[in-house]
Structure 1
Amino acid sequence: MKALHKITSLSAAALMMLLTSAQGYAQSSLSDLLNAVENDRVAESEEYQQRLQEFEQNAARQQQILDTTEGRIVEQEGLQVQLSDQFEANEVIIADKREVLRNRRGDLNELFGTLQGVAGDFLSNFQDSLISAQYPGRTGELEVIIERAGSSIEQLNISEMERFWYFMHQEVTESGRVVTYNGDVALPSGETANRSITRIGTFNAISDGEYLSYQGEVGHLQVLPRQPAADVLSAANALTSSNSGFTRTGIDPTGGVGGQVMANLVNFPSAQEQVEANAGVIGFIIIGVGVVGIILGFFRLLMLTLVSVKVRSQLKSDKASKNNPLGRVLLVAESNPNADTETLELKLGEAILKETPSLESLLTLIKMIATIAPLGGLLGTVTGMIQVFQQITVYGAG
C-alpha cells in the first residue's frame, strides 16, 4: 500500500513537471510570433514609404518629360511653318529657273523633242529586233535617253546623243550581215542552252539547223515548236556549216522577230492534225469511203487499160483471140459463117451483152460512193454547226 502510494506520488510529480515545461514553451513561441509580426509590419511600412517616395520622384520626372515634349512640339510646329514657307518660295524659284532654262535652251527644245520622237520609234524596233538578242541592254539605254530628252529639268549631253546615233547605225549595219555568235536559246522542253547562233540580218536566226524566234519581253531566242519542211531545214544546216561564199537558204523577210509568215505556217495544222482535231466520226467515214472509192477506181482503170490494150492488139490482127472482148465477139461471127444477117445480128448482140457486165463491173458501187461522199460532207457540216451553236450557248458569243 505504501509502495502504491509512493508510485502515484512520483507519477503526479512527473506530470506536473511536464505541464510546466509545455506551458513555458508555448509562451516562448507566441512571443517569437509576435516579434516576427511586428518586424514584418515595420519592414512593409518602410518598403511602402520607399515606393511612395519613388512614385513621387517618377511623377516629377514624367512631368519634366511632358514639359520637354510639349516644348519640342511647339518648336517643331514653328519649324514646320518655316519650312513650308521655304518650300513655297523654292517652288517659285524652281519655276523661274525652269523658265530661264527653257529660254536658254532655245532651239534645243525642238531638237530634244525630235530626238525623243525618233528614239521612241526606234525603241519599238529594238524591242523586237533579232539584233537585240545579240546585243542586249540597248532598249534599257534607249529608254533612259527618251526619258532625259523629255525632261524639263535634265538635258541630254553629247555622249548620250552619240550613243543613240551609234544604236541607229548599228541596227542599219547589222541588218545586212550574216553573223554567228554564242547565246542562250530556250528549248521546247523549257530548258535554256548556250548554243551557236547564226543570224541572217534581221530576218531569221538559226541554231543547230533549227529556226529560232525572238520575243523582246522574254529577252532571248527560242526554238520554234514546229520547224519548216525538211528541204528548208537542210538549207539551214548548210548555212550553219558554211564558212564563206554564198549559201542558198530560206528566210522570211516579213518581220524582225524571226518571220511572221514562218510563224504562221509552222503553227498551221497539218492534214493529219486537222482530221484528228476537227473531222470527228463523220470525217473518218468520208475519208474511209473516199479511200475505198479511189482503190476501186484505180482497179477499174487498170482493168480497162489492159482490156483496151488487148482490143487495140486485136484490131491489128486478122485472127480473132479469146483474150479480149472484141476477139470473142468476132469468134461468134466466125463460128456462124452460114447464118443469115438477122440471126448473126442476134448472136452478135448476145455476145456483146455477155461482155458488158465484165466491163461495167463495180461501176454501180463507184457511183454510190460518189453520191454518198457529198452527203457525208453535208452531214459533217451540219454536225459542226451544231457543235458551234452548242459552244456559243455554253460560253457565249465572245
Structure 2
Amino acid sequence: MTYRYLIAGMLGLVLYVLTSVHAQAQSEAATSEPATTEKSSQTESSNQDVSLDAVLSAVKADLEKSKARLKARESEFTERRDTAKNRMNKAIAKMQALEAEGRRLEGNFESNRVELDDKARLLKEKLGALKELFGVFQQNASDLIGSFNGSPTSIQYPARDEWLEGFANRMKNASEVSSVDDIMGLWFEMQREITSSGDIVPLRAPVVTTDGKSRERDFVRVGTFSLITATPKPGYLYWSAAGQEVVELPRQPVGSYPADIDAYLSEGKGLNTLSVDPTGGTLMSLLIQKPTLTERVNQGGLVGYIILILGSIALLLAVYKFLEISSITSRVHAQQSDLNNLRPNNVLGQLLITYHENRHVDSETLEMRLHETVEKARLYVNRFTVFLKIIAAVSPLLGLLGTVVGMINTFQAITLYGTGDPQTMAGGISQALITTVLGLIVAVPAVLMHALVSGRGKGVMNILHQHTAAILGDQMQAQELVSSRAEPPQGSGPVPKSAPA
C-alpha cells in the first residue's frame, strides 16, 4: 500500500509539472507577434519535448531513490520490531518468574508467620513469671533514666543512659532473657547513684554562661543537690536535664548565699555550713525569681514613684522640724535657767521682752500683747508640720489609686490574652499590691513623725503658756494690790493735812 501511494503521488506531481509547462507555453505563444507565430510554435514544440523527457528522467531517478530509502527504512523498522519483540518476550518471562518467586515467598512468609506465632506462644509459656520480672526491670530502668537525666551525677557518668535505654528496650520486647550481668548492672547503677548523692566532688567541665557561650570551669558537686563555683565569683550552677549540660544561673539569689559559698570553698575540709536545694533546682529557680527591692519599687510604676517622692519629702521635713524644735527647746531651757539675761533668739526671751516692754499697761492690753507674741511663736514652731499631716493622709489614697490602676491593667491583659498565662496578669497585680504597700509604708511613718514633731512643738508652747499665765497672774495681782492701796478705808473720811497728830 505504501508503494502505491508513493507512485500515485509521483505521477500526480509529474502531471502537474507538465500541465504548468504547457500552460506557460500557450501563454507565451498568444503574446508573440503574428509574423513569427509559425516559426515560434515549431521551436517551442521541440523545446517542450526535450523538457518533458528531462522531467520524466528526473522523476524516475527520484522514484528510484525514494524506493531505496523506503526499503532501507522498512528493513530498519523490521529489525527494531524484532528486537523489541525479543525484549518483550524476555520481560514477560522475567515477570512470570518473579510472580512465581513472589508466590513462593508469600507462601514462605505465611508459614514463617505461623511458626513465629507458635514460637512466641511457646516463649510466653516458658517465660511465665519471668515476664513480670522483666516488666519490673523495664519499669525500673525507665524510672532510672528519668532520674539520672535530672541528676548532676550525669556529668561524671554520661554513658549510663544509653546502656539503660538498651536494657529497657530488651526487657520491654522480651526478645531475650536478661543475663545476670544485666541485672547486676542495673543494681550497680542504682547503688552508684545512692553513693554519689553523699559525695562532694570537685569537677571541671564545660559551663554554659549567661552570654550563651560554653567555657571550661571548675566547680564542686554537692551530692545530687547543688553545683557551686568560685569563679569568676561565688555562686550556684544548675544541671539542665533538657540539654544535659551545666548552666550558669541568670542571676544569683539575693542574700548571704554567695558569701556562704565563698566561705565554704575557702575553709577547705571540716564541717562547714552551705545552703543546698534538696528539690534539685526547683527552689533555686523560684528564689532567683524573687524580685529585689529596686524591682519591687519599679513594679509600682508612676504612682509608686510619686508616693516615694512624698515619703522622701516627709522624711526631710520631719528631720528638719525635729532639729529645729530641738534647737528651740534647748534655747528656751537656757533662757529659763537665766531669766535675768533676756535674749531675743528664743521664743521665751521674746515673750519676756514683750512683758517688760508692756508691764506698765493694763492687764487686758498686756494679755493681748503676750498672746500676739505666743501666736507668732506657735506659727514659727508649727510651720511645715501640716505638710507631714497632709502626706500621711494622701499617701494611702495614692496607694489606692495605684491599686485601681493596676487592676485596670490586669483586666485589660485578661481581655487581650485571656487567663491562660498568669504572666500576662502579673504586672498589673504587682502594681496594685506594691502601690498599696508603698502608700502604707509612707503613711505610717509620716503619722508617727507628725506626732513626734507636734509633741515637741506642744512642749515648747506649753512652756510659753505657763509663763504667759504666770505673767498675767502676777500683773493682775500687782494691779489689784495697787488699787487696794489707792482706795481709802470704808466709813472714814479723808484725813486733813492740818489734823493733829
Considering the TM-score relative to the shorter chain, is it more than 0.5?
yes
Q: Which residue of 2 aligns with 1:89?
A: 111
Superposed counterparts of 1:319-338, under 5 Å: none
Q: Determine the C-alpha separation between the residues in 2 that align with 1:311 and 1:114.
A: 92
Q: Determine the C-alpha separation between the residues in 2 that align with 1:274 and 1:289.
A: 18
- 1:214 maps onto 2:257 in alignment: no
8 Å contact 1:199–1:206 — kept in the other structure? yes
Q: Which residue of 2 aligns with 1:64?
A: 86
Q: Determine the C-alpha separation between the residues in 2 that align with 1:355 and 1:105.
A: 106
Q: Which residue of 2 aligns with 1:181?
A: 203
- Relative to structure 1, is the Cα distance of residues 330 and 172 closer, same or farther in structure 2, using a 3 angstrom cutoff? farther
- 1:358 maps onto 2:365 in alignment: no
AA aligned opposite 2:154: S
Aligned-pair distance for 1:70? 1.9
- 1:301 maps onto 2:322 in alignment: yes
Q: Which residue of 2 aligns with 1:112?
A: 134
- 1:279 maps onto 2:300 in alignment: yes
Q: Which residue of 1 aligns with 2:222?
A: 200
Structure 2 residue matching 1:99: 3-state secondary structure: helix
Match of 1:133 among 155, 161, 164: 155
Cα RMSD after superposing both structures: 3.4
- 1:246 maps onto 2:268 in alignment: no
Structure 1 residue matching 2:173: 3-state secondary structure: coil
Normalised by the length of structure 2, the TM-score is 0.63
The superposition leaves residues 91-126 of structure 1 with CA deviations (integer Å, 9 ceiling, x where unpaired) of 222222122222222332222122222223222221
Q: Which residue of 1 aligns with 2:287?
A: 265
Q: Which residue of 1 aligns with 2:248?
A: 223
- 1:146 maps onto 2:171 in alignment: no
Q: Which residue of 2 aligns with 1:12?
A: none
8 Å contact 2:131–2:174 — kept in the other structure? no
Q: Which residue of 2 aligns with 1:9?
A: none
AA aligned opposite 1:67: N
Aligned-pair distance for 1:190? 0.9
Q: Determine the C-alpha separation between the residues in 2 that align with 1:56 and 1:77.
A: 31
The superposition leaves residues 53-103 of structure 1 with CA deviations (integer Å, 9 ceiling, x where unpaired) of 232122122222222222222232232232223222222222221222222
Q: Which residue of 2 aligns with 1:168?
A: 190
AA aligned opposite 2:238: S
Q: Which residue of 2 aligns with 1:387?
A: 409
Structure 2: gaps (5+ residues): 1-49, 421-501
- Relative to structure 1, is the Cα distance of residues 326 and 88 closer, same or farther in structure 2, using a 3 angstrom cutoff? farther
Structure 2 residue matching 1:249: 3-state secondary structure: coil
AA aligned opposite 1:387: N
Q: Determine the C-alpha separation between the residues in 1 that align with 2:247 and 2:399.
A: 40
Q: How many residues are matched?
A: 362
The superposition leaves residues 111-168 of structure 1 with CA deviations (integer Å, 9 ceiling, x where unpaired) of 2122222223222221111112332233332222222211132343222222222221
Aligned-pair distance for 1:185? 0.5
8 Å contact 2:225–2:276 — kept in the other structure? yes
Q: Which residue of 2 aligns with 1:237?
A: 262
Radius of gyration: which is bigger? 2
Q: Determine the C-alpha separation between the residues in 1 that align with 2:357 and 2:263.
A: 73
Aligned-pair distance for 1:305? 4.3
8 Å contact 1:98–1:153 — kept in the other structure? no
Q: Determine the C-alpha separation between the residues in 2 that align with 1:330 and 1:130.
A: 84
Q: Which residue of 2 aligns with 1:372?
A: 394
Structure 1 residue matching 2:202: 3-state secondary structure: strand
Q: Determine the C-alpha separation between the residues in 1 that align with 2:332 and 2:198.
A: 67
Q: Determine the C-alpha separation between the residues in 2 that align with 1:356 and 1:60.
A: 134
Q: Determine the C-alpha separation between the residues in 2 that align with 1:396 and 1:171.
A: 44
Using the TM superposition, name which of 70-79 and 299-308 deviates more. Answer: 299-308
- Relative to structure 1, is the Cα distance of residues 379 and 50 closer, same or farther in structure 2, using a 3 angstrom cutoff? same
Structure 1: gaps (5+ residues): 1-26
Normalised by the length of structure 1, the TM-score is 0.77
Structure 2 residue matching 1:217: 3-state secondary structure: coil
- Relative to structure 1, is the Cα distance of residues 387 and 152 closer, same or farther in structure 2, using a 3 angstrom cutoff? same
Q: Determine the C-alpha separation between the residues in 2 that align with 1:43 and 1:210.
A: 101
The superposition leaves residues 268-301 of structure 1 with CA deviations (integer Å, 9 ceiling, x where unpaired) of 222323443x333222222211221122123223
